[in-house]
Structure 1
């Protein structure tokens, strides 16, 4: 149900630009930042343990191609982040990490401020995440549904260039393997640049 509601909201949000204006400005963007993974709850054969896995801070980065329609933007984006696992059940762990490669359809609403270079925005996205847990000898991978919500502000620094600072909450579906379910979520602070054609 949650996936259906998010998908409907995103479809409605992204359909507005198509009718809002015939004029569009294509753009390319890239970002990098700090990725703070939330502790993972783990369920093993129906027995759940809250906050079983903790992570070290990672460095997410990504790129997107999109188009701006008046106050709306729509884009296709790719992202990657890697976070080392810090502890499992409060026991320190080394040489183990989780990688997430994301592919998202994002929509933005820019809140214009008259005579100001600053433009606050809100955004949302749906897509997928290819998640891989790795240690020194083995890895387990799975592709899952993912969604994200965010907000931030962009600053116009030249006619075709904007810089951006934003926050995104990324929520892939649970990673499941052999009766083990692991929850995933990440709070990311991102700085980026956007070039409009």
Structure 2
């Protein structure tokens, strides 16, 4: 009994002597710019596909199931916003983060089927039974309507280096899930409009500037990505994997309480 009492007393004293940072909770908000990497989209037909009238490809040409489909998509600069709640443990921090990013499509290029470029073909080739449409595949897809939007739920960990005056540099990393919507609609033609959920990860480097004991401004860079996004092509029966990796520069405010 005496030994148990002494152990309990020692534990209480240890907890009482624990540094104040063990109770250092915080919340943060940030906003920034997003540069989404070009996506080398790749997939395949899920069933035999019969072409419409192309320029050199005759109407009625059958492309067998499994024939590859691919093209490259470029994106405009986008926006990112995030909110996080966390706790500091000395030089380490852990947090839960909810973030959103969105990038509009700039253009699509390099359309290929079965390994062969079809950009010079009349766009009718993409629609079974279609006559010539008077516009090439390349011109049709060059019009960059659509977007890739992702909502992230992440668990992040950080290491804060020794402060240099009011400035504290840090690095971090996180894992979680990304809820992704891919909308490809060049020239108003819906090619992809699909949602998918995938594993997500990020690495982070930045610095904070203390405004007071409880408030700090911060600026950071992060590289954030999901696994390739699995989608279905709406125009014909095929699947498509879309790459979703971005560089983000952002600034925000952190409040400790």
Name the TM-score, length of structure 2 as normaliser: 0.64
Pairwise mapping of residues 102-117 of structure 1 onto structure 2 (< 5 A)?
A: 102-113=152-163, 116-117=165-166
Describe the shift of the 1:147–1:117 C-alpha distance in structure 2 as closer, same or farther (beyond 3 A).
same
1:62-86 Cα offsets, whole Å, 9 max, x none, are: 1000001100110000000110000
* 1:184, distance to aligned residue in structure 2 (A): 1.1
> Is 1:129 aligned to 2:178, yes or no?
yes
Report the alpha carbon displacement of residue 173 of structure 1 after superposing the two structures with TM: 0.4
* 1:31-180 aligned within 5 A: 31-45=30-44, 47=68, 49=70, 52-89=72-109, 91-113=141-163, 116-134=165-183, 135=185, 139-178=193-232, 179-180=239-240
- Answer with 138-147 or 30-39: which moved more: 138-147
Decide which moves more: 60-69 or 128-137: 128-137
Aligned equivalents of 1:105, 1:48: Cα separation in 2: 35
Could you tell me how far 1:48 is from its partner in structure 2? 7.2
Give the alignment's Cα RMSD to 1 decimal: 2.1
Deviation at 1:139, TM superposition (A): 2.8
Cα-to-partner distance string for 1:94-120 (whole Å, 9 max, x where unaligned): 431111000000000000135x11000
What SS is found at the alignment partner of 1:23? helix
Give unmatched runs, 5+ long, in structure 2. 1-17, 45-65, 111-140, 233-238
Cα offset, 1:93, TM superposition:
2.7
Task: In structure 1, list runs of 5 or more residues that go unmatched.
Answer: 1-19
Give 1:43 deviation, angstroms: 1.2
Q: TM-score, normalised by structure 1?
A: 0.83
Give the strand-richer structure, 1 or 2. 1
Question: Structure 1: how far apart are the matches of 2:22 and 2:219?
Answer: 26
User: What are the superposed Cα offsets for residues 11-50 of structure 1, whole Å, 9 maximum, x if unpaired?
Assistant: xxxxxxxxx9782301000000000000011112274757
What residue is the counterpart of 1:23 in the other structure?
A: 22
